[in-house]
Amino acid sequence: MATTSNMHFEISERKLLLRIVDVLSLLFGLYVVSNVFDFDYFRFTKERWLWSVVLIVYFMLFSTILELYNLQKASRYDTTFQGIILTVSITVLCYLLTPFFTPELPENRLQILYFFLAISVTIFLWRCAYIFFISSPRFYKNILIIGNTEEIKIMSEAIERNTNYYKIVGYINSTPNQGVKDADLEAIEEITNLDLNSVVKEKYVSEIIIASNPREELSKPLFDSLIGLLETGLPIKEYIQVYEELTYRVPVQYIGKDFYKYFPFSRSNQNKLYLFFHRFFDILFSVLGLTVSLIFIPFILIGNMIGNRGPLLYTQERVGKNGVPFKIYKLRSMVVDAEKDGAVWATKNDARVTKFGKFLRKSRLDEVPQFINVLKGEMSMIGPRPERPAFVKQLSEDLTFYEIRHVVKPGVTGWAQVKTDYGASVEDSLRKLQYDLYYIKHRSFFLDLNIIVKTLSTVLFYRGR
């Protein structure tokens, strides 16, 4: 079909391509430098294969933490350059400081500069090629949307906000009874030709998205054309599925009575091996976290006396797994009696937060006592954030499926925490709920690792609130 002339990469394929070629570029740069210059610090030999493995592990770890594989940042020269310099700098520093697994420090310090430049230059040149060629419009995925205008608007907004690699070439209104084109869809071409085979060839369509819940909305000619295209192998997807893939959220507000189709929760929730290791790492990280936090205790005590002037530790009732309440431990970041008149949403630049409290929140040190909750089994390191009973009652009435968050233990950090900010309203809570349900639905070792890496990135860049 003509669609093959329009090449494109899926989002996951782009990220995989970046990772693979980054590693190849890194190794190629070192190989060239070791053969052109007097460079003896790093050599490729069978006996020293561990050197390469350690270097790759360091680079992959720090490049992920520093968001080198954020596709929006990867499509810009300035953010790419900054990301590479920072990532390679930290990678080289850690590599030099672990001589037990890596080469001993060279006597000629100029070799360290060769080492740094060999990695930085080759990866940056490859990334420039990626931006120029792969991020160009020729590799965009051309999308045709079919459905009613309301769902089409939802889908087009999700594409516009979350990816630069999809291009909507047009839409077909499956309920053309209004007679007037929707003003919000003026920028998208409306296609009236129901011969989808010719539309796909003319527009080089890579994928069709069905943006309508009830199948009966599709006319028989349209339905028959879709069946014909399906037989050719052209991807045809339901819009809620695509929405989830793009936003990493479950769009609960658009799910109706057929909700069970969209909540095939991860088998990891019942997998005893996964749950065993999940609990093992909960205990391990909590013990490590509490041990490391002892270093900061004197500074926190002094800061609390000067900036908070009141009790440092406080407890608050939260809702845990299966709706069972528990007492959460935190370092106080607000003024004393901040909620003497009842529970109030935390807001941006909240006046109740003290100056020292802002530091605790930004650095996430206020969350450290929750490691005690983790050790007690009331919380996990990763999961939906536990909410106040008063807010749970309100949100359960306002938001469908809200209480599904309680099928797993609440977490110190979670998918919603690394993807969005504090919830200060019902609308914000809806967005957090979408992320929480995505985590419960796709819970796995790799998603947990992703959350840990993003949390480290948040702490390192001081992005808390």
- Confidence (pLDDT) at 181: 63
- Confidence (pLDDT) at 389: 92
Q: Is 219 helix (H, G, I), strand (E, B) or coil?
A: coil
- Confidence (pLDDT) at 2: 41
Mean pLDDT for the chain overall: 84
Taking residues 222-245, report their average pLDDT: 85
Q: Is 287 helix (H, G, I), strand (E, B) or coil?
A: helix
Beta bridge partners of 238: 210
- Confidence (pLDDT) at 5: 47
Q: Which helix (H) or strand (E) holds 285?
A: helix 272-293
Is the pLDDT assigned to residue 279 strictly greater than 90? Answer: yes
Is the pLDDT assigned to residue 169 strictly greater than 80? Answer: yes
Share of the chain above pLDDT 90, in %: 28
- Confidence (pLDDT) at 149: 83
Is the pLDDT assigned to residue 408 strictly greater than 90? Answer: yes
Half-sphere exposure at residue 411, Cβ-oriented, CA atoms within 13 angstroms: 26
Is the pLDDT higher at 73 or at 57? 57
- Confidence (pLDDT) at 4: 44
pTM of the model: 0.76
- Confidence (pLDDT) at 87: 93
Residue 279 has a CB neighbour count (10 Å cut-off) of: 15
Interatomic CA distance for residues 318 and 320, integer angstroms: 6
Is the pLDDT higher at 393 or at 36? 393
CATH classification (class only), 140-247: alpha beta
Is the pLDDT assigned to residue 227 strictly greater than 80? Answer: yes
Of 16, 81, 29, the residue nearest 55 (C-alpha)? 29
Residue 111 has a CB neighbour count (10 Å cut-off) of: 19
- Confidence (pLDDT) at 348: 67
Give pLDDT tens digits for 303-353: 888 888 788 888 999 999 999 999 999 998 887 776 666 666 666 667 788
Is the pLDDT assigned to residue 190 strictly greater than 80? Answer: yes
Q: Report how far Cα 244 is from the mean position of its chain's Cα atoms.
A: 12
Half-sphere exposure at residue 442, Cβ-oriented, CA atoms within 13 angstroms: 18
Interatomic CA distance for residues 185 and 116, integer angstroms: 50
Is the pLDDT assigned to residue 9 strictly greater than 90? Answer: no
Question: What is the residue extent of each domain of the chain?
Answer: 2-134, 140-247, 267-460
Give pLDDT tens digits for 76-94: 888 899 899 999 999 999 8
The alpha helices in 294-421, defined as continuous H runs, are 297-303, 355-363, 370-375, 389-398, 415-419
Is the pLDDT assigned to residue 104 strictly greater than 70? Answer: yes
Is the pLDDT assigned to residue 375 strictly greater than 90? Answer: yes
- Confidence (pLDDT) at 324: 95
The alpha helices in 43-148, defined as continuous H runs, are 49-65, 71-74, 77-96, 110-129
